[in-house]
Structure 1
């Protein structure tokens, strides 16, 4: 025991240590000894009793009688360490704040080292590492990866800002409060308090404090001793299905968004949700509890925090991104039987008295049903996935989801209904309305071939994002407003294989929204090639430049091409190719870089035309689009090294786009024509002036 006779009351403490206590008679004396024995003597200790019914109060009173720096106060008795800590916050007089649970210990130099570092760096928060020991044996225990101070992820030079560690701010420092020291004025200035909940209240306080700080620092030494395996503590009595960490994370995301500072920490938040979710799954001791947690993670948490929309680039740790991708791509049965976490669960769930449930039991427990045409029994889906994994997809279909699309179900049905072809469907979007996003997620849950990918800021074309996720031998695009009209894809792939084609061009048709049968009559399926007839001849893509000028669809929509993925990647890697422009420019570049292009004269893509198209707003949108096409084609013609004949064709394509833009531009009132320039870049403004001059010349000639 520490000798306390020399301790005297402190009028202006450097540090206030707040200790919440609830039925901690076994350990609270040792905890207070570790605080009283600190080399930093100028401190106060506020012990907040939260309704203890054991000898805790008597022990603290005895301690306070011998050390005037220790004060016992009565807490709200809510069974919440957070509410008790808030009581201590209101009474604290120290320049800095430290927290310690009633069963853990400070190393004797902890407060002095953190206070010195905080003073030198003028830091709002100083953090430190900690070590762990067993409550049962007293021997040291390994601190798991999630519990360490990851100093390798922190800047060597201190202090630093939250933005300097934005990707790791919720993982590198650990989300407890007892391994940190906080500047009291900073905590009061931002009005921060603990959430009055039973568990994970320190996670909210800590994450909000870290994200809003001006200066952070750390001491890379284990200065706190964490007591593990204590059945009396909240952590030690945590249930398998506990999701208090998720509630705290949800509250942090909500409040950071309300303050307008969430976006810099989005990647860190996604990684936190993923790692904590997998941690909870790994702690399941029965298959039943695993299935319960799996459903919460897969269909609730990953959806709410948009983990299901992230790709590997969204995760600061790529290994976590790959683990998430595997989790989302496999049905429950497949994941349970093919991953290390699943293996641990199966071992934990198998015992002489409790056998592991069968696959059919898992399928029933996971809520599989036949209510939807796309829903399959979990076992059947597992078999399908295993078969599909033996070979790569024949085709990756990139569905470009429009923000206002209400026809996504119709589009996906036409895609998923293709027969005799192995598909990967990548739905690419930016910020669709919530009802469309919910619909997409439902489709992805029902069909494992579908994956959802959000276009990242700074990426010009959704197709670029989709191509990065593509695994098929061929790639094809479709807008979510459109649909395919026949089971054309399998024969198209066979023809592409027979001709060793870089790309296959097919036809499209337009149909009025609500008048599908008229469009259906126009469509023609891809005819099978008769035996002993020669395969269609593949020719250089440049042969189709004249057709681009006159075709209503080829020159304006990339969805009328099936392109070999390896070839498309080579085109992307070619510095002379520009695939980041609009559809016309991308189609042009693919054709110019393709030596073997096959032409199939059959209309299988239905392009939807809205009934209201033709209004001023549509004329303005079309004029802007065609104007951008003109500028892009002019730029391409000037920068691509092509034959003179091809240069003439590109110029003709650009002039045709300008003509279409002028036609729609002429229909606009003066104010709308001025509005058209809003946000336009300099090349587009030059093109606009050329249009205006052409219109003025036409008016003059008419007079």
Structure 2
């Protein structure tokens, strides 16, 4: 039977969490309609043994792919090449899906035929299991279940990887690989194919359970400081992609969406700079990067919505110093 959905699970040393992740996909109603590609990215712990249990029990659904360690993006690139489903979704191996909502997602993929199906996600805190919502709706007055032309709503919403299920061929045909040996590539997975997306439907379901607070998690402020060069690499890759799309004379709605998405990465990079120990060197790095964006990518520069970034800009970057102080206080409270 043809598979409706391929779920790519990148795995690197996640034996503590991977069983919960894979068990969440063992749903009788959809097992014959999905494939799960467990991409072992040079994992050295017991993750493979756990994954093989699922292959043994459900050989028509679960597959294991071995590869040398190349990072999250490398695992996604490999999974995309091997995917046989009409649609593809990324599920990190420390996260999981909600059973009933996932079933409704698969049903929607089978019947609606859009390029993207958007579904919601919860943040689930590691310490106490409490759930939080970042955005209740993708945009005000959304009509769930309605097929939209993407360009008609591109200025109203921003899609994150945890919410996106995309037609596999669209994700493949970009002609550009996600950065390897690099953190923070989720945004690349979303942004690269978005220029080809014509239709989207919004599903009022919380499908994805996104674990927060795990030790060593890449989105912690400590890890973002440590890996700030990776974050800058992703920003530069997105800017290169943006240059390519402008050369193609992309329609304005898709171009605006790219600019807005890259502007969010710029704001995140400001946040990283503000979290570093206060120094003239960090001040100079922040100012140089932002001036480069202003001079070379003025439309991206103008799309930044973060009020703190604009306050720092208008002060001639002198508000970097009190901004750093406020960031330090905020981090101490977390």
Taking structure 2 as the reference length, the TM-score comes to: 0.82
- Per the alignment, residue 185 of structure 1 pairs with 169
Shifted more, 26-35 versus 104-113: the winner is 104-113
How far did residue 209 of structure 1 move? 1.8
Q: Does 1:172 align with 2:158?
A: yes
1:116-515 residue pairs with structure 2 within 5 A? 116-140=107-131, 142-144=132-134, 150-152=138-140, 158-168=146-156, 172-174=158-160, 176=161, 178-191=162-175, 193-236=177-220, 238-240=223-225, 241=228, 242-261=231-250, 263-282=252-271, 284-288=274-278, 294-304=283-293, 309=298, 314-315=302-303, 320=305, 323-337=308-322, 341-347=323-329
Moved over 6 A (4+): none
Q: Does 1:111 align with 2:102?
A: yes
User: Partners in 1 of 2:141 and 2:2 — Cα distance?
Assistant: 36
User: Partners in 1 of 2:235 and 2:5 — Cα distance?
Assistant: 31
Q: Cα gap change, 1:156/1:127 in structure 2, threshold over 3 Å: closer, same or farther?
A: closer
SS of the residue corresponding to residue 37 of structure 2 reads strand
Q: Cα gap change, 1:87/1:127 in structure 2, threshold over 3 Å: closer, same or farther?
A: same
The answer (yes or no) to whether the contact 2:278–2:321 under 8 Å persists in 1 is: no
RMSD: 3.3
User: Partners in 2 of 1:247 and 1:322 — Cα distance?
Assistant: 23
The answer (yes or no) to whether the contact 1:17–1:98 under 8 Å persists in 2 is: yes
Q: Cα gap change, 1:211/1:165 in structure 2, threshold over 3 Å: closer, same or farther?
A: farther
- Per the alignment, residue 23 of structure 2 pairs with 33
User: Partners in 2 of 1:262 and 1:295 — Cα distance?
Assistant: 36
Q: Cα gap change, 1:336/1:43 in structure 2, threshold over 3 Å: closer, same or farther?
A: same
How far did residue 104 of structure 1 move? 0.5
Taking structure 1 as the reference length, the TM-score comes to: 0.42
User: Partners in 1 of 2:202 and 2:109 — Cα distance?
Assistant: 9
- Per the alignment, residue 88 of structure 2 pairs with 97
- Per the alignment, residue 59 of structure 1 pairs with 50
- Per the alignment, residue 462 of structure 1 pairs with none
Q: Which has the larger radius of gyration?
A: 1
How far did residue 195 of structure 1 move? 3.1
The answer (yes or no) to whether the contact 2:267–2:309 under 8 Å persists in 1 is: no
- Per the alignment, residue 71 of structure 1 pairs with 63
**Residues 254-310 of structure 1, C-alpha deviations (whole Å, 9 max, x = no match):** 332243217444544444444443344445444427x65554443224533659856
